[in-house]
């Protein structure tokens, strides 16, 4: 029996299972450590080693063989996986020592270490549940969080020491607060010194943060989950830093102007001492501060300011072997790489992330064409692109060994290989039963990158005009139109249901430079919607589209955009499916929302203009709202408040509540049937063919 695409996509977690990830390369280049499940339908992730000289693989740690029950994960681990959009189980994260001889990881809240040469795995007698373990650079100790306190355990003896003890349920040491993990990309709250004798530790006090309660109405016998959620305009957690020894002696408190710079963006501790990045609440200023590890005093290493906001770029700050600061500069429409304060990449090459700095060499990703992401190397001798063709790529480096990974528009599975060799890491991900046939083009005067997919076997010369499904994300921080075939499998499935599917990256999405990103300052509605309509009309000039039957669907920001489209432009959009939509931006978190819309206390009109609630009486098109009732990111109140406003206005609509589902939908049956239900709703809701 042939497996349907919705079932296959759900079972394989959108084809992520079985693909190698989480790669680490040893400094001598002798081993490549990575995560991968045993098949494309196996959700249990294992730890593996590859010999880059021979291509031989070895299974190092198998959760099934260790016989650990993972059904009752620590709350912190469940939250981390939600923030990281992690849908698999088993060993989903690990850390290594500097020499990559030992790895530490958790299973079921218990702590394990693995010898990466022999594959020997043993459990350490840590205080459970264990969260976020990290080996010190020398491999002698593991630091981890349990009960909101930071522990250090000796690998050899098992001696366990609390080095930073929580004073109350509101205070934690070593954890990343909600917005750091969700919005800043910082998933950790402590950093080892290079010698492994001390730690830089974040203290998070959530006392001032609003407490929200997320219940599961399908299980009224269960208590509601209490969540510290900093909604726009409300107090954030108070974050400070302390330095402690590995034996638990407090050395210093790190001092900076926390009133002016309350956000701790990231930190590192290299051979030249700690560096921290702090940010103002309005996100218009960032400071890189050097920290004296003896007394906690800070000094300015770099200062940046922008009239709108400053984007957080992954991988910076870093330092070259000579101590030069590696950073980025938004200059004349281009995000450029800087070394020692000087731009080293040309205008037009948009830097995405810094991957590694070794000596004077900087490995980074960047885009010349927005739909492609390539791996580049900078040295004082110049720039070199390491990846070829049209695609989306990344890399990890250890010593002189670079492991590349990526995919192309023609491929539905990724490839991971050792640069300059024929050695590849096996990919066990399933091949989709659908092969997308996608065409990319630049739409309209703004050259909006747009993808179009038609039903398989459709003949554009037949004279038939197709109903349209616009399928955007459209929000900051994420692109949909990339030269990666797997990204369009679901869009091809939707096209095969009889639609022309259009995916467009409007202003505000990444990859086009600072000006493109900041065009949405104060306006999530008009700019975004105008670009989606421009892409739709440009596509209609190239393909046989029936503009009298246009539907739109999306999730998260895309859900907001879908609902916005039918509420404000019913002349263009005739039906919508809005999944997990933000409908009232005062209900979304501080760091994301205030970056674009400002403080609601100071900009109430901006928030009102970007809210969908007051638009409810204008609804005249079919609208389906979908929301996971366990969502702690875009809480279900967004959908419920819009639904209440629609009901009060007498506007019919459909609400699909998902019991026990969060912002992700990893449950196989839920994920599969969601696609079927959306297609059925859109078919029924669009006007009949003329």
Q: How many other CB atoms are found less than 10 A from the CB of residue 250?
A: 12
Q: Tokens for 599, please give them.
A: 């403080």
Per-residue pLDDT for 2 more than 80?
no
CB 29 within 8 A of CB 401: yes
- What is the band of 62 on the pLDDT scale with cuts at 50, 70, 90? very high
Which of 82, 42, 83 is closest to 62 using CA atoms?
Answer: 42
Rounded to an integer, what distance in angstroms lies between the CA atom of residue 594 and that of residue 5?
39
Query: Is residue 463 included in any domain, yes or no?
Result: yes
Q: pLDDT, tens digit, for every residue of 116-139?
A: 999 999 999 999 999 999 999 999
3-state SS of 301-333 is EEEEECCCCCCCCECCCEECCCCCEEEEEEECC
Q: Flag the least confident range among 65-79, 208-222, 457-471.
A: 65-79
Check residue 200 and give its pLDDT. 98
- Quick one: average pLDDT of 271-298? 98
End-to-end CA distance of the chain: 37
Q: What is the overall mean pLDDT for the chain?
A: 95
- Quick one: average pLDDT of 62-80? 78
Query: Is residue 7 included in any domain, yes or no?
Result: no
- Quick one: average pLDDT of 505-517? 97
Beta strands in 84-237 (DSSP E): 89-90, 95-96, 102-107, 110-115, 121-124, 131-135, 141-146, 149-154, 160-164, 171-173, 190-192, 198-205, 211-214, 225-228
Domain count, the chain: 1
- Quick one: average pLDDT of 452-460? 95
* C-alpha pair distances (Å), 344 with each of 381, 516, 562: 11, 22, 41
Q: pLDDT, tens digit, for every residue of 399-441?
A: 889 999 999 999 999 999 999 999 999 999 999 999 999 999 9
Query: Is residue 635 included in any domain, yes or no?
Result: yes
Rounded to an integer, what distance in angstroms lies between the CA atom of residue 95 and that of residue 83?
18
Q: Tokens for 608, please give them.
A: 């009102």
Check residue 634 and give its pLDDT. 95
Query: Is residue 554 included in any domain, yes or no?
Result: yes
Check residue 81 and give its pLDDT. 76
Check residue 657 and give its pLDDT. 94
Q: pLDDT, tens digit, for every residue of 612-624?
A: 999 999 999 999 9
Per-residue pLDDT for 304 more than 60?
yes
Per-residue pLDDT for 270 more than 70?
yes
Per-residue pLDDT for 44 more than 70?
yes
Give the three-state DSSP class for 441. strand
- φ/ψ of 613, rounded to 5, equals -60, -45
Check residue 667 and give its pLDDT. 67
CB 438 within 8 A of CB 444: no
Per-residue pLDDT for 570 more than 70?
yes
Rounded to an integer, what distance in angstroms lies between the CA atom of residue 53 and that of residue 44?
28
Helices 526-542 and 557-568, packing angle to 10 deg = 80
- Quick one: average pLDDT of 475-489? 96
Query: Is residue 555 included in any domain, yes or no?
Result: yes
CATH code assigned at 490: 3.40.50.1820
Query: Is residue 129 included in any domain, yes or no?
Result: no
Q: pLDDT, tens digit, for every residue of 580-594?
A: 999 999 999 999 999
**pTM summary value:** 0.95
Listed as own residue / partner, the contacts of 399-406 with beta carbons closer than 8 Å and 24 or more positions apart are: 399/25, 399/26, 399/27, 399/28, 399/29, 399/358, 400/29, 401/25, 401/29, 401/32, 401/52, 402/25, 402/363, 402/375, 403/23, 403/25, 403/32, 403/52, 404/375, 405/20, 405/23
Rounded to an integer, what distance in angstroms lies between the CA atom of residue 335 and that of residue 355?
16
Largest CA distance in the chain: 78
Check residue 664 and give its pLDDT. 76
Beta-carbon contacts of residue 483 (< 8 Å; ≥ 6 apart): 371, 372, 390, 391, 392, 408, 409, 440
CB 658 within 8 A of CB 629: yes
Q: pLDDT, tens digit, for every residue of 89-104?
A: 899 999 999 999 999 9
Query: Is residue 492 included in any domain, yes or no?
Result: yes
CB 616 within 8 A of CB 646: yes
More confident residue, 460 or 372: 372
Range of the domain at 479: 438-685
Which of 125, 102, 104, 133 is closest to 115 using CA atoms?
Answer: 102
Burial class (CB in 10 A: 0-12, 13-18, 19+), 643: buried
- What is the band of 1 on the pLDDT scale with cuts at 50, 70, 90? low
- Quick one: average pLDDT of 218-228? 91
Percent of the chain whose predicted confidence (pLDDT) is above 70: 99
334-339 vs 342-343, strand pairing mode: antiparallel
Per-residue pLDDT for 85 more than 80?
no
- Looking up tokens 């024929």, which residue turns up? 422
Query: Is residue 416 included in any domain, yes or no?
Result: no
């Amino acid at each position: 029996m042939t497996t349907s695409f919705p079932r296959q996509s759900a079972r394989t977690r959108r084809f992520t299972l079985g693909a190698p990830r989480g790669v680490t390369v040893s400094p001598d280049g002798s081993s490549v450590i990575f995560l991968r499940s045993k098949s494309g339908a196996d959700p249990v992730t294992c730890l593996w080693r590859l010999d880059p000289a021979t291509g031989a693989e070895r299974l190092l740690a198998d959760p099934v063989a260790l016989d650990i029950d993972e059904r009752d994960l620590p709350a912190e681990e469940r939250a981390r996986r939600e923030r990281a959009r992690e849908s698999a189980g088993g060993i989903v994260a690990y850390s290594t020592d500097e020499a990559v001889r030992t790895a530490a990881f958790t299973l079921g809240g218990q702590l394990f270490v693995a010898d990466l040469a022999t594959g020997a795995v043993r459990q350490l007698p840590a205080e459970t549940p264990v969260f976020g373990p990290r080996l010190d650079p020398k491999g002698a100790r593991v630091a981890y969080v349990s009960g909101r306190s930071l522990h250090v355990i000796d690998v050899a003896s098992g001696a366990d020491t609390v080095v930073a003890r929580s004073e109350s349920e509101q205070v934690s040491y070593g954890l990343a607060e909600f917005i750091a993990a969700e919005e800043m990309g910082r998933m950790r709250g402590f950093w080892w010194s290079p010698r492994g004798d001390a730690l830089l530790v974040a203290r998070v006090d959530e006392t001032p943060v609003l407490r929200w309660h997320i219940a599961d109405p399908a299980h009224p016998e269960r208590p509601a989950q209490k969540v510290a959620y900093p909604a726009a305009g409300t107090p954030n957690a108070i974050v400070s830093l302390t330095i402690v020894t590995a034996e638990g002696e407090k050395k210093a408190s790190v001092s900076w102007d926390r009133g002016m710079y309350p956000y701790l963006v990231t930190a590192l501790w290299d051979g030249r001492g700690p560096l921290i990045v702090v940010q103002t609440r309005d996100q218009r200023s960032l400071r890189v501060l050097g920290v004296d590890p003896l007394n906690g005093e800070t000094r300015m290493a770099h200062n940046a300011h922008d009239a709108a906001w400053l984007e957080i770029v992954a991988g910076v700050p870093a330092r070259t072997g000579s101590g030069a600061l590696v950073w980025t500069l938004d200059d004349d429409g281009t995000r450029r790489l800087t070394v020692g304060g000087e731009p080293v990449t040309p205008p037009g090459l948009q830097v995405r992330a810094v991957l590694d700095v070794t000596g004077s060499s900087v490995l980074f990703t960047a885009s010349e064409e927005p739909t492609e992401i390539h791996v580049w190397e900078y040295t004082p001798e110049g720039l070199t692109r390491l990846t070829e063709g049209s695609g989306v790529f990344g890399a990890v480096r250890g010593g002189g060994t670079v492991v590349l990974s990526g995919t192309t528009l023609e491929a539905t599975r990724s490839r991971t290989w050792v640069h300059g060799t024929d050695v590849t890491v096996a990919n066990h991900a399933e091949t989709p039963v659908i092969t997308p046939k996608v065409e990319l083009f630049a739409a309209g005067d703004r050259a909006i990158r747009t993808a179009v997919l038609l039903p398989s076997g459709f003949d554009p010369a037949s004279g038939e005009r197709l109903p349209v499904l616009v399928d955007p994300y459209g929000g900051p921080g994420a692109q949909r139109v990339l030269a990666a075939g797997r990204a369009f499998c679901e869009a091809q499935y939707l096209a095969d249901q009889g639609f022309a599917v259009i995916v467009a990256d409007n202003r505000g999405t990444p990859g086009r430079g600072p000006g493109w990103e900041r065009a949405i300052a104060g306006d999530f509605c008009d700019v975004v919607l105008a670009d989606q309509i421009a892409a739709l009309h440009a596509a209609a000039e190239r393909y046989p589209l029936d503009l009298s039957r246009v539907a739109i669907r999306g999730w998260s920001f895309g859900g907001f955009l879908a609902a916005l489209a039918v509420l404000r432009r019913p002349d263009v959009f005739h039906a919508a499916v809005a999944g997990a939509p933000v409908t009232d931006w005062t209900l979304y978190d501080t760091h994301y929302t205030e970056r674009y819309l400002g403080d609601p206390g100071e900009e109430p009109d901006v928030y009102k203009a970007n809210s969908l609630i007051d638009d409810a009486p204008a609804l005249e098109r079919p609208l389906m709202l979908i929301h996971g009732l366990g969502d702690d990111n875009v809480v279900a109140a967004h959908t419920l408040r819009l639904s209440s406003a629609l009901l009060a206005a007498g506007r019919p609509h459909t609400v699909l509540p998902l019991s026990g589902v969060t912002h992700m939908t990893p449950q196989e049956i839920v994920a599969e049937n969601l696609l079927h239900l959306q297609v059925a709703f859109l078919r029924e809701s669009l006007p009949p063919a003329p």
